[in-house]
Amino acid sequence: MYNPKSHKAEEFIAHEEVLASLEYAEKNKNNLKLIDEILSKAKKGKGLSHREAAVLLDCEIEEKNNEIFALAEKIKKDYYGNRIVLFAPLYLSNYCVNGCVYCPYHSQNKTIPRRKLSQEEIKNEVIALQDMGHKRLAIEAGEDPENNPIEYILDSIKTIYGVKHKNGAIRRVNVNIAATTVENYKKLHEVGIGTYVLFQETYNKETYERLHPTGPKHDYAYHTEAMDRAMQAGIDDVSLGVLFGLELYRYEFSALLMHAEHLEAAFKVGPHAISVPRLRKADDVNPDEFDNGIDDDTFAKIVACIRIAVPYTGMIISTRESEECRKRLLHLGISQMSGGSKTSVGGYFNPMPEDENSAQFDISDRRPLDEVIRWLMELGYLPSFCTACYGSGRTGERFMEICKEQQIHNFCQPNAILTLKEYLDDYASEQTRAIGYKLIHGEFDKIKDEKIKEATKTYLERIEAGERNFRF
């Protein structure tokens, strides 16, 4: 029944295979010999199978767990250096016809104010986001064919790309909307989206159906097979995720990696990124009513094991998590994070009083973007606003090839420096700017390729003179 190449959810996420890998992990969680074998394979930086990764996740030998964390950190450095890519979510509409019990957008919720942005309001949001310094957005919307039809989403994307304000521009719009048809994915592809993002929420079919009792999202197979349809439509950057807290984390972990293996087996392109959201308090949602919440230590282990299992896949953490938690996870594998986020509809241009806002969930890290950037630099990271891969056709299989050969540094490092310089000149506070210029100096010295170094130097001078958008 288990067949990673099949396009049927019940075959590429075969329940029996998930259970078998959990059993295998349970049986081997203290098997030193096997754990050592898996670790030596992992050290080659080419990834692990879901069964192997499940053993590491369950491993109870302290010394080996320390090795797992150290290896995750090493792989993170080898593949991503010290760069962290920044983005912000943009909530377009919270109208929704689904009944997801963990999400306050569910159709039975009569207390949350419903809002949908007009194209004029979207422009205002985008200007506010550009004035913060953002270049990359993830648009979010509830599922509602009448209020949020695909035409509305497409118009919104065109509006976002069309806003040119001062030196600002949104260069990559990632899209997080409900599972849809191949035809609609084609339309999204044509309008030039970056990554298509869809969280599975839970891979366990029974739990999934119970937590999504009504609406089109109830259909487990349709939701789980969405990435196949997106890829068939030509979207080759897709981003996976589960909502941790809904189901046993071990189940989700194995199934998530099986999903990644499936995309690789069926399309030769693994997921561009994996998100690791945890359930948060929201309007009429209390996370304490769910049994499967995970603590920070377990969460860190999950992130480390994903990093080791799929080294070439980006990992995303949102402002659902606190500053402290984000700091810990950055070391272990996170390569992208949101900053200065608002999860309410229209929240950037016109923040609403807490009690009447339309937020999807409470955010934990509420710092403005400037503070996040400064904090990242103080921790030794290089914040990046780069979107060049997408602009230069380095997507899908081509991106993965470059990534797997660890060549991506040659583009990413100078691009991070150039985009940070633009950010500092255009948007940063004095304090952030001072730290940033020093950092750029140090990072520039690290560029090894002389030609790239020379070109970066020229570009930095031209940015200083007021020109923009130099990328490798």
Question: Binding residues for ligand SAM, per CB under 6 A?
Answer: 102-103, 140, 142-143, 176-178, 198-199, 201, 217, 243, 277, 279-280, 282, 285, 320, 360-361
Any alpha helices (H) in 191-320, and if so which ranges?
Answer: 205-211, 220-224, 226-232, 249-267, 296-309
Q: Shortest gap between Cβ of 363 and ligand SAM (angstroms)?
A: 10
Any alpha helices (H) in 333-449, and if so which ranges?
Answer: 369-378, 388-391, 396-404, 408-426, 430-446
| Nearer to ligand SAM among residue 176 and residue 395 (C-beta) | 176
Q: Shortest gap between Cβ of 166 and ligand SAM (angstroms)?
A: 29
Q: Shortest gap between Cβ of 121 and ligand SAM (angstroms)?
A: 17
| Nearer to ligand SAM among residue 159 and residue 224 (C-beta) | 224
Q: Shortest gap between Cβ of 439 and ligand SAM (angstroms)?
A: 33
Q: Shortest gap between Cβ of 105 and ligand SAM (angstroms)?
A: 7
Residue 100 tokens read as 């997801």
Q: Shortest gap between Cβ of 171 and ligand SAM (angstroms)?
A: 22
Distances (CA, A) of 63 to 38, 57, 75: 15, 14, 18
Q: Shortest gap between Cβ of 98 and ligand SAM (angstroms)?
A: 6
Rg of the chain on CA atoms, in Å: 21
What are 175's strand-pairing partners?
A: 139, 196
| Nearer to ligand SAM among residue 222 and residue 437 (C-beta) | 222
DSSP class per residue in 143-178: --TTTS-HHHHHHHHHHHHH--BTTB---EEEEE--
| Nearer to ligand SAM among residue 293 and residue 391 (C-beta) | 293
Q: Shortest gap between Cβ of 124 and ligand SAM (angstroms)?
A: 20
| Nearer to ligand SAM among residue 321 and residue 443 (C-beta) | 321
Among 403, 381, 391, which Cα is nearest to 472's? 391
Among 269, 217, 216, 214, which Cα is nearest to 243's? 217
DSSP class per residue in 330-356: HHHT--EEE-S---STTTTTSPPPGGG
Q: Shortest gap between Cβ of 115 and ligand SAM (angstroms)?
A: 13
Q: Shortest gap between Cβ of 244 and ligand SAM (angstroms)?
A: 9
| Nearer to ligand SAM among residue 226 and residue 400 (C-beta) | 226
Distances (CA, A) of 24 to 202, 261, 456: 21, 18, 50
What is the DSSP pairing of strand 238-241 with strand 382-384? unpaired
Mark 217-256 as b/e (b = at least 16 C-beta within 10 Å): bbebebbbbbbbbbbebebbbbbbbbbbbbbebbbbbbbb
| Nearer to ligand SAM among residue 10 and residue 219 (C-beta) | 219
| Nearer to ligand SAM among residue 365 and residue 370 (C-beta) | 365
Residue listed under structure tokens 């986020």: 341
| Nearer to ligand SAM among residue 243 and residue 372 (C-beta) | 243
Any alpha helices (H) in 174-248, and if so which ranges?
Answer: 182-190, 205-211, 220-224, 226-232
What are 383's strand-pairing partners?
A: 84
Residue 242 DSSP class: B
Q: Shortest gap between Cβ of 255 and ligand SAM (angstroms)?
A: 15
| Nearer to ligand SAM among residue 197 and residue 439 (C-beta) | 197
Residue 238 tokens read as 């897709």
- Cα(first)–Cα(last) distance of the chain, in Å? 45
Q: Which helix (H) or strand (E) holds 286?
A: none
| Nearer to ligand SAM among residue 153 and residue 285 (C-beta) | 285
